[in-house]
A = this chain, B = another copy of it.
Amino acid sequence: MAHEVTVLTAGELRGLVQLDLAAVDVVERAFAALASGTVVMPPILSMAIPEANGEVDVKTAYIPGFDGFAIKVSPGFFDNPKLGLPSLNGLMILFSARTGLVEALLLDNGYLTDVRTAAAGAVAARHLAPAKVETATVIGTGIQARLQIEAAHLVRPFSRVLVWGRDMAKAEACAADIAERLKITAEAVADPARAVAQSQLVVTTTPAEHPVFKAEWLHPGLHITAMGSDQAGKNEIEPAALVAADLYVCDRVSQCEALGELRSAIAAGLWQGGTPPELGEIVTGRHPGRCSDDEITICDLTGTGAQDTAIATSTIAAARKAGAGSTILT
């Protein structure tokens, strides 16, 4: 029995969905749902293709009350830049949560993942950063370095950004892009310790396998969002920092234990803090979160299928409202 499938190309999706407060709110609702305990979110399917220096992750989640659920496929092929292609690609498929039929193909080449990942950083900053952020530092110089700063600026309109990366030229290019995009001061810096000392908000966006953020850099009134580690081999934040912070928060405990900063802290034998709270518990007020402007907070983001279901569902609603996309009968 044939049914209609909506197809949206990357260009159409870029016209429909932007990194704005609406996207942040969509992702915030996904975290709130996760805190409710009713979301079904299986472990990530992950496959390595060593011959091509590639990997592919599949994420999904069912959120009760949502009409659909997304299955998101994220390939990362890290030799692609040599071929003139981006490393990250992929698509989302939206299924009816009532019948399992394919409802929509979102051929986003990773764009919606970029947006929902950055939006999660904004949710973390909104609920965990000090009320007043004047300077933000980003560690890393890739797409997410730019987008995380753009997203955080939506909820904490800081006036200055410092960018640190191993490659000074890339840090300068990243700072220039941020300055142009947000019309604020942004500069590349050579010393990340000095940058952090001047900042109230730090975002780490690297695929580092050894910490790029030292525990000794912690200072009162700092919030850190660590969004780079999403695999067992990665670690951005020195494990002692998780213990020294007043509050350490996971996007999903089961994922952070296996793939996030928490994994390294557990492996180092340092983590004795029991089960950390999840971002959704902060969002919904189940956990108090930051209690004063002097506290030090860390949020560990590994990326959840719930964010994918939320952004895919809101995207298809926007597409239907706008009459965007094409239809295939299958």
Contact = CB atoms under 8 A, between A and B. Distances in A.
Contacts of A1: 84-86
A5 B62 CA distance: 27
A322 interface: no
A213 interface: no
A272 interface: no
A49 B97 contact: yes
B56 A60 contact: yes
B56 A46 contact: no
Interface string A273-305: 000000000000000000000000000000000
B99 A52 contact: yes
A51 to B, nearest CB: 7
A89 B75 contact: no
Contacts of A233: none
A102 B90 contact: yes
Contacts of A5: 107
A93 B91 CA distance: 10
Given A46-B42, A47-B42, A77 B99 contact: yes
A42 B45 contact: yes
A98 interface: yes
A254 interface: no
A71 interface: yes
B40 A48 contact: yes
Interface string A22-46: 0000000000000000001111111
Interface residues of A, number: 55
Interface stretch (A7-15, A133-141, A156-164): A7-15
A97 B53 CA distance: 10
A11 B330 contact: yes
A108 B47 CA distance: 24
A330 B109 contact: yes
Contacts of A108: 330
B95 A56 contact: yes
A108 to B, nearest CB: 8
Nearest to A51: B64
Given A45-B60, A80-B99, 18 more contacts: A41-B47, A42-B46, A45-B45, A45-B58, A47-B69, A49-B97, A54-B99, A56-B71, A58-B60, A77-B98, A77-B99, A89-B100, A89-B102, A90-B100, A91-B93, A102-B107, A105-B105, A107-B330
10 contacts: A9-B329, A10-B330, A40-B48, A42-B45, A45-B58, A47-B62, A58-B58, A76-B100, A80-B99, A89-B102
